[in-house]
Amino acid sequence: MNDNSTRQISRRDFLRLAGTAATAVAATAVTAATAPEAKAAPAVQAPKWESKYSVCDMCFNRCGLIARVERGVITKLDPNPKFTKSRGMLCARGNAGVAQVYDPDRLKTPLLRVGARGEGKWKAISWDEALELAATKMKDIGEKYTRCGMLFSAGADMQSGFVNRFAEAFGSFNVTSHESLCLLSGNRAFLDTFGDVPLPDVKNSKYVILAGANRLEALVTPDSMDLISIMKEGAKVVVLDPRYTKSAALASEWHPIRPGTDMAFMLALANVIITEKLYDAKYMAERTSGLDKLADHVADMTPEWAEKETGIPAADIRRMARDLAAAAPSSMVYPGRRTSDYENSTQIRRSFAIVNALLGNYDRPGGLVPARPAGLKKVPGEPPWYDDNPPGRVDAKSVPLLFDEEGSFVLTREAVIKGAPYPIKGWFVYKTNPMATAPERAKTREMIDKLDFMIVVDITMSDTAWMADLVLPAPSAMERTDPVQALQSGAEGACLVWRDAVIPPLYQSRPVFDILKILAGKLGLGEFFDFDIESYRLKQLAAFPEAAEIIKRDGVFYPPNPPLGGTDGAAFKTPSQKIELFCSRYAEMGLDPLPVYTPPKPSPDTARKFRLVVGRSACITQASSTNNALLSEFEPENMLWLNDEAAKELGVKQGDVVQVESPVGKGELKALVTPKIRRDTVYMLSGFGSISGGLSHTKGVGASIVELMETRYDSICGNSAIHETFLSVKKKGAA
């Protein structure tokens, strides 16, 4: 970190000198204007801006930034060079944060629905009226259906913790986040193997396999930048993806794997590492359990077997296994982030975890490292006990290993529709958008139709807000004071950030914290919100008396980071206290204790030939940024990536409008005819085909992924499974 800041300062000093020199020359050379080919330009003044630290809100990465404010208006967002997790960068989305603040589509006042649900007829009401109504409805629902009759859903936001705190105080177990539509399968798998969810230390790695992680487009800091750095230093990065993504283009090696066969690849890696004894036998004996059972399990899963499943040549699989092992422990199978792919995604990711275990890379540089200590204190509150509440979440016991604090959105939705095991009639939503991110939009709509009252707090009229009874305008992140958040950065340690408002809230917007505090007061729960954010932050930072001043000075604080290897000799938090190659808990629960490969199911309908895969680009984060004026210049619509040979058979040409159909929905969008995708697969960018009349760039533009996706979920943890849908594709107007 010292190195980085020194370099930054010296570079800035140089530039400052350069600017001075230019000014001096200009002052003596103004008369050169008659010679147009070389004259001195007039001196340029530095902008009269104030520079204020904040934290980006355009995705979950939370990159440190510096806002340039001129006469009360944010004119530019720049990276904070002291925020090393992002390697001193701000991506296109971060830069477009200004367009988000000044988006003409922003919500400006509380709005009450006056037409039919989803019709888009609203009446502006006062905050007093809005909050009184919200409190009354929540109280009524709590009394009539128990407190668990209210569902709370909050997105990845620095104030989302307050929504969970409110739900707890209010007395509802029913809380969902975006995570059960995203990353829970991966977390489940690594937790059940290692006893924690380790982080990749890409920066020090010599060999990385990215299976289905498009990390050079779906940016994760610092991993995305570090992948480029390590390749410059000679490290190998292998990408497995049915699509020629930018990650595939720039990787050392790309294999267009058959979708749904990653587990076969991983088990073959295990086969080679075990049969050729490429592992550290002492480490495996001391730190892992179940090697013999794993060896038996993968005995027949040779690279030749895996070649038939994956389409990746056996020789390449064998070579990769040997190279991975040779580079161990500074090598890894990258765990990935979004793992909401298949109904057996937890087991697929278990196979990723097992290969990592065979590499002995846990808590080693260049391997997988346990989350670094952040030292943030919880601000306690003792929620009341409500005797009449049901015993648990509405989606409890629907799958064997639900994350109790996250739940499963698709299974909760199912329960709301059925009204069983008990009714849910109210929904409080903060900055998350299931109408655009949860598979099978029609079902989300069906769920909403079962509700008595739905409140959405957001910056703009999302598709989910469009369905609400009451919509409350939130300020953008640049207008907010936010609590401290800890961010992880591989082996480099955690860092702590907060937000202070860069500009005052625009329009009548109010932070969700204020909304919840007022509602808590009205509902007799004021004691759970008897603080302001400034005092809350000091409580969070109780372990670091110096941190507040440092965050004000630098925009970030780095707590002490103990060296790697600190877990050596300590028990893993698993039943066997070892890394569980063979998962004893799964065995007890009747689940496969070792990941059993089953080939991906073919399409049940010959008319639907193409497996739909989805993703995002470096310019958008799902539906939360596609409506941005600047980003819409890069991604104005989504197109269907269609293999060029498949397109020829269908008579589809570049840019033709195609009709796509799944068993649950339809869509129309332009075709991108390309050799960059397998013949059996089509791809769509998320975040388009919106229905909200409040989204001027995306309403009806392109097609919605969630309109098409069928409702499938991970059978172990209930995470959605969004690569299980097959589409038919035809040119619009063709028979």
Partner 1 sequence: MSTQKLAMVIDSAKCIDCKGCMASCKQANNVSRGVWRNWIKEAVPPVVDGLDGAKKLGHGHFQPGACMHCDEPTCIQACPTGATYKNAADGTVVIDPKLCIGCGNCIKACPYGARFRDPVKRIADKCNYCPERRAAGLAPACVDTCPTKARVFGDINDPSSEAAKLLAANQGKVVRVVAKNKDTKPNMYYIASTAPDGWTVQPVDPTSFDFLAGVVAPAVKLAVGLSGLGVLAMLGRQLFAGAGTHGPDNSHGPDNSRGPDNSHETDSKPNTEKKEEDGHA
> Per rule CB under 8 A, is residue 194 in the interface with partner 1?
no
> Per rule CB under 8 A, is residue 700 in the interface with partner 1?
no
> Per rule CB under 8 A, is residue 39 in the interface with partner 1?
yes
- Report how far Cα 115 is from the mean position of its chain's Cα atoms: 34
Residue that is written with structure tokens 């389409």 in the block: 311
> Per rule CB under 8 A, is residue 657 in the interface with partner 1?
no
> Per rule CB under 8 A, is residue 35 in the interface with partner 1?
yes
Closest contact distance (angstroms) between CB of 85 and partner 1 is 12
Site for partner 1 in 295-334 (CB under 8 A): 307, 311-313
Closest CA to 211 of 276, 281, 165, 262: 262
Binding segment (CB under 8 A) for partner 1, from list 89-97, 112-120, 280-288, 429-437: 89-97
From candidates 1, 16, 405, 596, binder to partner 1 by CB under 8 A? 16
> Per rule CB under 8 A, is residue 213 in the interface with partner 1?
no
Query: Which CB, 33 or 657, lies closer to partner 1?
Result: 33
> Per rule CB under 8 A, is residue 383 in the interface with partner 1?
no
Query: Which CB, 311 or 575, lies closer to partner 1?
Result: 311
From candidates 4, 117, 244, 421, binder to partner 1 by CB under 8 A? 244
From candidates 56, 90, 548, 614, binder to partner 1 by CB under 8 A? 90
Closest contact distance (angstroms) between CB of 223 and partner 1 is 11
Closest CA to 221 of 208, 202, 198: 202
Look at strands 726-731 and 610-615 and give their pairing: antiparallel
> Per rule CB under 8 A, is residue 254 in the interface with partner 1?
yes
Site for partner 1 in 593-632 (CB under 8 A): 618-619, 629-631
Quick check: 302 and 271 in contact, CB under 8 A? yes
Query: Which CB, 305 or 529, lies closer to partner 1?
Result: 305
> Per rule CB under 8 A, is residue 92 in the interface with partner 1?
yes
> Per rule CB under 8 A, is residue 219 in the interface with partner 1?
yes
From candidates 120, 161, 634, 693, binder to partner 1 by CB under 8 A? 634
Distance CA 682, CA 286 (A): 45
> Per rule CB under 8 A, is residue 216 in the interface with partner 1?
yes
Binding segment (CB under 8 A) for partner 1, from list 29-37, 365-373, 382-390, 515-523: 29-37
Distance CA 224, CA 219 (A): 6
> Per rule CB under 8 A, is residue 44 in the interface with partner 1?
yes
Query: Which CB, 362 or 641, lies closer to partner 1?
Result: 641
Please work out the total of residues on this chain that contact partner 1, with binding judged by CB under 8 A: 83
Question: 143 Cβ partners below 8 Å, 6+ apart?
Answer: none
Look at strands 64-70 and 73-79 and give their pairing: antiparallel
Burial tier of 337 (Cβ tally within 10 Å: 0-12, 13-18, 19+): middle
Neighbouring CB atoms inside 10 A of 535's CB total 11
From candidates 1, 25, 326, 420, binder to partner 1 by CB under 8 A? 25
> Per rule CB under 8 A, is residue 34 in the interface with partner 1?
yes
Site for partner 1 in 255-294 (CB under 8 A): 256
Quick check: 359 and 728 in contact, CB under 8 A? no
H-helix or E-strand spanning residue 142? helix 127-145
Distance CA 501, CA 508 (A): 15
From candidates 153, 174, 224, 351, binder to partner 1 by CB under 8 A? 224
Neighbouring CB atoms inside 10 A of 644's CB total 15
Tokens of 338: 């979004």
Look at strands 426-430 and 150-154 and give their pairing: parallel
Query: Which CB, 577 or 654, lies closer to partner 1?
Result: 654
> Per rule CB under 8 A, is residue 69 in the interface with partner 1?
no
Closest CA to 366 of 256, 233, 539, 464: 233
Neighbouring CB atoms inside 10 A of 40's CB total 15
Closest contact distance (angstroms) between CB of 543 and partner 1 is 32
Closest contact distance (angstroms) between CB of 112 and partner 1 is 34
The DSSP call for residue 529 is G
Q: Is the bond preceding residue 222 a cis peptide, omega within 30 degrees?
A: yes
Closest contact distance (angstroms) between CB of 629 and partner 1 is 8
The DSSP call for residue 537 is H
* Residue 671-690 contact track with partner 1, rule CB under 8 A, x = bound: -xxxxx--------------
Query: Which CB, 21 or 589, lies closer to partner 1?
Result: 21
Distance CA 538, CA 184 (A): 31
> Per rule CB under 8 A, is residue 470 in the interface with partner 1?
no
> Per rule CB under 8 A, is residue 639 in the interface with partner 1?
yes
- Would you give the end-to-end CA distance of the chain in angstroms? 63
Closest contact distance (angstroms) between CB of 306 and partner 1 is 12
Residue that is written with structure tokens 């630290």 in the block: 53
